[in-house]
Structure 1
Amino acid sequence: MTHQFELGEKFDSALLADAPRVRLSRRGMIMGLASGSVFPFISGCATNLATGESQFLLVDDATIANMSATAWTDMKAQTPQTSNSKLKGRVLNIWDRTIQGAVKQGHVSPNAQWDVAVFDTDDVNAFVMPGNRVGVYRGITELTENDDQISSVLGHETGHVVGKHAEERYSVGVAAQIGLMAGQIAVASSEELSKYGSAIGALGGAAVQFGVILPYSRKHELQADKLGVDYMHNAGYDVKQSIRLWELMAAQSEGQRPPEFMSTHPDPLRRAEELRTYINARGYALI
């Protein structure tokens, strides 16, 4: 399925595209592997205060925010923004209320600055870029049935920021590239394996994509969904509408999604069920 049905797909695509290519010579890589100098930075983990989980991070917030600055500027220059002041005011009001839910949770500074744009296209989507940059398409406001569902969308995007998903996905991408390079060198150095070098390389790339990158992405989406529910609950919105949102998204994308293991995002109905379980467990509502 295309990104227009999946909240955050713009964020994911931009992030993977921005992952740097590690440029090391074969000799340099071999020497680095022998000395341990290639991987010294792939050793530190940090605990995310919002999720309580250990994260693998190679970059800080400021670095990755700077990396996305040009993409955000280009996005706003090339994509029309709505001239409907009523729609823009509605989205910004829901945003202000939802972000206060994150502040109340202690996950966002009350002094944080945000840049929220409402784009005038039919895309059924919203996204976030590093640096507190949030994009909402008119299409998602037309699919949703009420302010509560839009709050669920905006809370989800805030969850990506709080969860440091950009930083973690970038870091995993860099580490995966280095791992693939090391594997290619090992294959090339083996007289027997070198006969099958291209086939092994293709399998290795597929294993990283389907076994590392995509599962990370789906995990982040589910995590952002749940953080978003916390924020909309704190803001006084009806959390049950987050489930309804994903039922609507499922109907919108029916017959157009690839198998989940090939997607950056979990199946919409799985997301709805995970949220149902989470809402009940948190005592926000009985569904």
Structure 2
Amino acid sequence: MRVLIVDGYPADARERHRAGFGMTPGEAYAAVVKAIAPAAACDIVLPADADAQLPAGAELSSYHAVILTGSPLHVYHDEPSVRRQVELMRAVYDSGVPSFGSCWGLQVAAVAAGGTVTPNPLGREVGFARRITPSEAGRGHALLAGRPAAFDAPCVHLDVVASLPAEAVVLASNRMTGVQAAEIRHRRGVFWGVQYHPEFSLTELAAIMDRMADALAEEGFFRDPSEVAGYVADLRTLDADRSRRDIAWRHGLDEQVLDERQRTLEIRNFLARCLAGDAMRQ
């Protein structure tokens, strides 16, 4: 199985992520894919960069799946690093290769097919998206197979999908975000996406929140950056020692976040469909 990871981060943000977590977002996502499907071969493309290209000799049609990462960019900003990613997603749709995306990935896929993205009028959703609830369509959809009637997931986003394209369906929502999961069908392609981050371990989420400490304090999530440091320490400790029920209880975290198989369920469901052959192709 050959998977293309589309790392949506610009170069400076990729390096900050590497400095805090030890891997770029694309490398971290590839590691999650390899943990789920050890035989998968993952290539990474960096379309925020002006000189980005697929690996030599590769075409989109040579991949079994395309996965889009998150990004600190805003898809409604008309700048080259954004336009390249929207155009790449349009090419993915045209290729017919099944695709999946987290957060920014969902937003880019929506815009590439005719939807819109705006800042969330309710503000930032960060840490964990709480009580994500599958829609009627989502309860029977393969993307969310195995999820309960309500669940939490790692997240960090300021923007949301405001309107979906014509051939799309909302699969899950919560109080903060109307489109937490969706399927988009466009041209020859099928995209499954989530606004949250099933790929994030607690340690990766901690690294991101640590990097955002000043902003999170300014926005009122914490009284000051030192409180962010305590929260980050809790996440890292719990990731290293899942027996710390005191920390899990304090932050209201259950197996939907703490069990790796449950946390990454949407990625597992997507890859299983891709491994089945042409099950997701139009």
The normalised TM-score by structure 1 is 0.24
If each structure's helix is expressed as a fraction of its own residues, which one has the higher value? 1
* RCO higher in structure (CA 8 A, sep ≥6): 1
Instruction: Give the TM-score normalised by the residue count of structure 2.
Output: 0.24
